Amino acid sequence: MSTEARSERAPVRLSPRTIALYAIGSLGTGGYATLPGLVLTYFLTDNLGVAALAAGLIVTAAKIWDVLIDPLIGAASDRQLARTGSRRGFMVTGALALPLFFALTFAVPPAWGPVAGAISVLLAFLATATAFSLFQVPYVALPAELTGDYDERTRLLGWRVVVLTAAILLFGAGGPALRNAGDDPVRGYLLMGIASGVVIGVGMLVAARTADDAAQRSAVSPATTATVSTWRDQYMSGFRALGRSQPFRALLGTFVLQALATGTMLAGAQYVATWVLRSEDAVTFVFVALVGPALLATPGWTVIARRVGKERAFAMASLLFTAAAASLVFAVWSPGAWIYASVAVAGIAYAGLQSLPMAMLPDVISHDERTSGPGQAGTFTGIWTAGETVGFALGATAVSLTLAATGYISTVAGTTVEQPEAAITGIVLSFSILPAVLMGASLLTLRRYRLRRADIDAVADSDA
């Protein structure tokens, strides 16, 4: 469809208020995705004395729980939308519950011992993950209901990623800074957990207001939404969505591989700071190098997507990230400040890796609704969030397995050890070659994504 034809359709632009409120939600999602991935494994191994393999299993167990509940929450969110006209209830519940459980995750003292400490962290993090899923699944469903326009979705998700990257900087740099503010690491982790949990909860609570805006634009009614009666039916609704939507399968497969790639880098960043750059505080500079360029690059990826299409821009960002990650392998032989430059290039790519697939997901949902009917966005986003969770969980697991295999020595707070050379090499490889290989593999699945602008414009025209 030509530019003139698209302008004749004159889509309604989203208001700055709606965009701002939705974007603020990424203050919560960015904080939750960043801080536990960055410091939780390290908190377990280097503060509570938990073995690296056990620490990885704890993080993975919590993520598996996410995978189990996300499809259920997605289907339940669709039913709530049909019953009440809004997805807001689940979002508010998650926003109110998360700060308490997030603080409890980092409130466990080393004096409890590795076993009791590991169990306590697991239970608290399971509760945190549940609260987050109650918010995240309906939150990701909203863009498909807020607007049907191809470019407006890119605009909406672009501003969301601006806030997301700022949140990554805030939590990735500010969280460890709070932890290290005093001489007592136990109190430092507790302060970090309380302050971060409150900020995450507030961001989520503010974003919940956009659910009402989506409800006003949505054509969903109880008559157009399928009734799901049992937990088995709720799971099957997600598998049916996967089965009938080839674009969803391609996009989800790509996103899961990329979540795994970025998850390995995130979980390995603190170890790189401590044992490669030889400064625990260097993790702050790693995140500044990553997020600073990403903040500037997000509008650029939006412009590129308008000109060449979201899927081509997404492939460009993936290739750039692959090259930047691969270059970090040289830190095995020559560690130094040059690492920040490679991380900065990865940050430019990371902005596109966040905004573009999230802008493509509403396109997939609206394309499916053309044949399957409206009111199933939550089903799609439940599967999507579960897939993202799998990626990040396996990323942390991959790092912990690498540490265990290369002889990494766990410690409790206040003690000092020297890591073997094999462990340091393993840290670098999990921060460079592994994510590069995974990102390269994601390009193969992205090639199977066949939705283009014309397909989405045709859906919007049919709804007009």
- The string of pLDDT tens digits covering residues 372-382 is 766 566 677 77
Do the Cβ atoms of 439 and 320 come closer than 8 Å?
A: no
Question: What pLDDT is recorded for position 276?
Answer: 86
Question: What pLDDT is recorded for position 250?
Answer: 92
Question: What pLDDT is recorded for position 294?
Answer: 78
Separation between Cα atoms, residue 127 and residue 134, nearest integer Å:
11
How confident is residue 88, by pLDDT bands cut at 50, 70 and 90?
confident
- The string of pLDDT tens digits covering residues 257-294 is 998 898 888 778 878 888 888 776 777 788 778 777 87
Give the position of tokens 């994504």: 449
- As given in the structure block, the two tokens for residue 344 are 């900065």
Separation between Cα atoms, residue 433 and residue 439, nearest integer Å:
10
Separation between Cα atoms, residue 324 and residue 349, nearest integer Å:
9
Do the Cβ atoms of 289 and 340 come closer than 8 Å?
A: yes
Alpha helices in 180-309 (DSSP H): 185-207, 210-217, 231-244, 246-271, 282-308
Residue 327: name the closest of 338, 316, 337, 317 by CA.
338
3-state helix, strand, coil in the chain (%, to 5): 85, 0, 15
Q: In angstroms, what CA-CA distances link 216 with 145, 293, 375, 462?
A: 9, 36, 14, 20
Do the Cβ atoms of 261 and 120 come closer than 8 Å?
A: no
* All domains of the chain in start order, with CATH: 16-227+238-463 (1.20.1250.20)
Question: What pLDDT is recorded for position 376?
Answer: 66
Question: What pLDDT is recorded for position 130?
Answer: 93
Do the Cβ atoms of 169 and 288 come closer than 8 Å?
A: yes
Q: In angstroms, what CA-CA distances link 334 with 272, 331, 355, 412?
A: 13, 5, 33, 29
pTM, full prediction? 0.70
- As given in the structure block, the two tokens for residue 370 are 């053309």
- The string of pLDDT tens digits covering residues 242-258 is 777 888 899 999 999 99
- The string of pLDDT tens digits covering residues 109-168 is 888 988 998 999 999 999 999 999 999 888 888 887 777 777 787 788 778 878 887 887
Query: What does residue 412 show for φ and ψ, rounded to 5 degrees?
Result: -100, 165
Query: What does residue 420 show for φ and ψ, rounded to 5 degrees?
Result: -65, 155
Separation between Cα atoms, residue 123 and residue 372, nearest integer Å:
39
3-state secondary structure of 48: strand
Give the position of tokens 């001489």: 183
How confident is residue 420, by pLDDT bands cut at 50, 70 and 90?
confident
Length of the chain: 464
Residue 117: name the closest of 412, 407, 414, 395 by CA.
412
Question: What pLDDT is recorded for position 459?
Answer: 57
DSSP per-residue codes, 330-393: GGGT--STTHHHHHHHHHHHHHHHHHHHHHHHHHHHHHHHHHH-SS-HHHHHHHHHHHHHHHHH
3-state secondary structure of 412: strand
H or E, element range at 164: helix 150-179
Taking residue 9's Cβ as centre, other Cβ atoms within 10 Å add up to 12
